[in-house]
């Protein structure tokens, strides 16, 4: 895959991600705008605040670049005094400081609402303030019995909210609620939606251009297989070798018979191959994940393009029953590239040969291919990727789990019949720490055992390799089905070994040693 195509896909993926981010922001802003439409303000719950000093003041509200005529937003403060008359006012912080200089007052600190709690920072003094209603510096104020309310337009300055008894008596107690209305939320949501649409469409266009630009004609997808084989035109499995294939090993009849023992059923059209390198380094697996970082970075963008191509292909199948060949070859290539990296770095550790940066088939000792379908079902495209695949996804998730299995430490659950998460002290300590239990998946554990064996013995246990390959083969078949590449349902079977035995022809078994 040339640099120009990759650049288009990377730029398109970045635009797509930016568009999706803008879409998520538009949704959040839209929810806030809808919340404003219910009562005109986004408000915190009404709670009772009480201090023993002469005044309760808020922290500073610093506003820059807004004048009263801009109509950007408004602040609403409502309060009710259980006994007597209440005063609520907003004024510049400097004026409030002069008014309350030497007067005992309390500044509101951290507030929590579930459950409610409030912290206050008290300022000592011996002064007694004049009644607040007699002061002339208030930007907005209200005083009297019952519920008092101020509605103030946001404007530039450093402001403070003051709550006092109207007669300036100490011990202020009031039921207070604050709200804000931002007038620009509705227009902002609209602009974000427009930007999201432009970015997403532009990103999809660049991704598709990257997939289609300079594309070579799709190579043959033989009906029965096509694993790489040695020079001479035929692989060890009797099929035509892939272009440039030259290094996959041939099997002796005894090994082929071992691989094909007990085989039944038809071969699945998504084929995964990987041959164990007999000369693996004892220690290289410790750093392969680091060496593969360039692959991971490129694959992150390629998988974004993969998702776009799959979505477009789904609509194409729905209307034409055909998977566009260019998108099909690209998606198979992305899976193939990912499989080679997994075989090298973390999914198998089956070779020390560095994977090529290519979507095409090569002579690498790991390969993935799917037979191109001439027609696909319109109906299945609507349900197979989310509904029909569920049994397979549960099984694959059980042994792969994307690397980890997590159990949330919250709720009223029993764990192995030994711990009740609602009452057990150990559970409470875990819950308060916000922790999770994390366990390595079966597949990751098997690869770890193989790595340890390789470190201490210099050998990768062959039965373990065959089992890992079987689990990976099952996973990749399910991936191909989920990605709409085939309509045939993946088999519920563990086809172990470097190749599915059903793809090995009978003449290989009856042949002579190479």
**pLDDT digit string, tens, across residues 343-368:** 999 999 999 999 999 999 999 999 99
Residue 240 reports pLDDT greater than 50: no
What does the pLDDT read at residue 413? 37
Kindly report the average pLDDT of the chain as a whole number. 85
**pLDDT digit string, tens, across residues 501-511:** 787 654 444 44
Strand partners, 407: 437
For residue 415, cis peptide bond before it (omega within 30 degrees of 0): no
Residue 433 reports pLDDT greater than 90: no
* Torsion, CA 86, CA 89, CA 95, CA 101, rounded to 10: 30
**pLDDT digit string, tens, across residues 172-199:** 999 999 999 988 888 999 999 999 999 9
Of all residues in the chain, what percent carry a pLDDT higher than 70? 79
- Tokens standing for residue 256: 């082929």
Average pLDDT over residues 488-498: 94
Burial label, 196 (beta-carbon count in 10 A; 0-12, 13-18, 19+): buried
Rounded distance between C-alpha atoms, residue 99 and residue 129, angstroms: 7
- Tokens standing for residue 209: 């251009």
Burial label, 23 (beta-carbon count in 10 A; 0-12, 13-18, 19+): middle
Instruction: Report residue 253's pLDDT band, with 50, 70 and 90 as the boundaries.
Output: low
Average pLDDT over residues 280-301: 96
What does the pLDDT read at residue 148? 96
Burial label, 507 (beta-carbon count in 10 A; 0-12, 13-18, 19+): exposed
Rounded distance between C-alpha atoms, residue 345 and residue 449, angstroms: 15
> Residues 504-512: contacts with CB within 8 Å, 24+ apart?
504/237, 504/238, 504/256, 504/259, 504/260, 505/237, 505/238, 505/239, 507/238, 508/236, 508/237, 508/238, 508/251, 508/253, 508/256, 509/253, 509/256, 509/257, 509/260, 510/253, 511/253, 512/253
């Amino acid at each position: 895959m040339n640099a120009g195509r990759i650049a288009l896909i990377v730029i398109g993926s970045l635009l797509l991600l930016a568009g999706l981010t803008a879409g998520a922001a538009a949704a959040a802003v839209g929810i806030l705008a809808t919340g404003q439409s219910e009562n005109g303000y986004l408000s915190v719950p009404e709670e009772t605040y009480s201090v023993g000093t002469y005044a309760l003041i808020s922290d500073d509200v610093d506003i820059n670049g807004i004048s009263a005529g801009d109509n950007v937003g408004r602040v609403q403060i409502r309060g009710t005094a259980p006994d007597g008359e209440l005063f609520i006012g907003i004024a510049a912080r400097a004026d409030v400081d002069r008014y309350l200089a030497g007067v005992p007052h309390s500044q509101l600190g951290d507030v929590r609402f579930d459950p409610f709690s409030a912290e206050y920072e008290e300022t000592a003094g011996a002064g007694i303030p004049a009644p607040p209603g007699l002061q002339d510096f208030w930007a907005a104020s209200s005083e009297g019995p019952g519920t008092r309310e101020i509605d103030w337009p946001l404007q530039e300055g450093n402001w403070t909210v003051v709550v006092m008894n109207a007669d300036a008596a100490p011990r202020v107690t009031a039921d207070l609620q604050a709200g804000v209305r931002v007038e620009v939320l509705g227009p902002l949501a609209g602009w974000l939606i427009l930007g999201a649409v432009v970015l997403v469409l532009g990103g999809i266009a660049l991704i598709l251009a990257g997939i289609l630009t300079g594309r070579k004609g799709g190579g043959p997808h033989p009906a029965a297989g096509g694993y790489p084989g040695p020079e001479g035109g035929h692989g060890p499995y009797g099929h035509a070798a892939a272009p440039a294939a030259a290094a996959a090993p041939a099997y002796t009849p005894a090994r082929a018979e071992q691989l094909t023992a007990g085989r039944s059923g038809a071969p699945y059209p998504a084929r995964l191959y990987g041959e164990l390198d007999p000369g693996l380094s004892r220690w290289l697996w410790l750093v392969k994940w680091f060496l593969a970082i360039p692959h991971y970075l490129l694959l992150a963008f390629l998988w974004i393009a993969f998702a776009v191509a799959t979505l477009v292909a789904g609509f194409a199948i729905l209307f034409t029953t055909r998977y566009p060949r260019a998108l099909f070859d690209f998606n198979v290539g992305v899976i193939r590239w990912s499989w080679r990296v997994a075989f090298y770095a973390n999914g198998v550790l089956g070779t020390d040969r560095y994977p090529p940066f290519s979507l095409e088939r090569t002579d690498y000792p790991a390969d993935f291919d799917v037979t191109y379908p001439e027609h696909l079902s319109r109906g299945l495209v609507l349900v197979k990727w989310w509904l029909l695949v569920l049994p397979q996804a549960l099984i694959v998730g059980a042994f792969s789990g994307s690397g980890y299995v997590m159990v949330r430490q919250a709720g009223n659950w029993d764990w192995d019949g030994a711990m009740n998460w609602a009452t057990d002290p150990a559970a409470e300590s875990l819950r308060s720490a916000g922790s999770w239990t994390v366990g390595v998946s079966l597949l990751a554990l098997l690869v770890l055992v193989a790595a340890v064996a390789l470190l201490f013995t210099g050998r990768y246990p062959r039965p373990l390799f065959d089992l890992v390959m079987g689990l990976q083969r099952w996973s990749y078949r399910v991936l191909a089905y989920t990605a709409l590449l085939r309509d045939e349902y993946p088999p519920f079977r563990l086809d172990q070994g470097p190749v599915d035995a059903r793809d090995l022809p009978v003449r290989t078994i009856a042949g002579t040693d190479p």
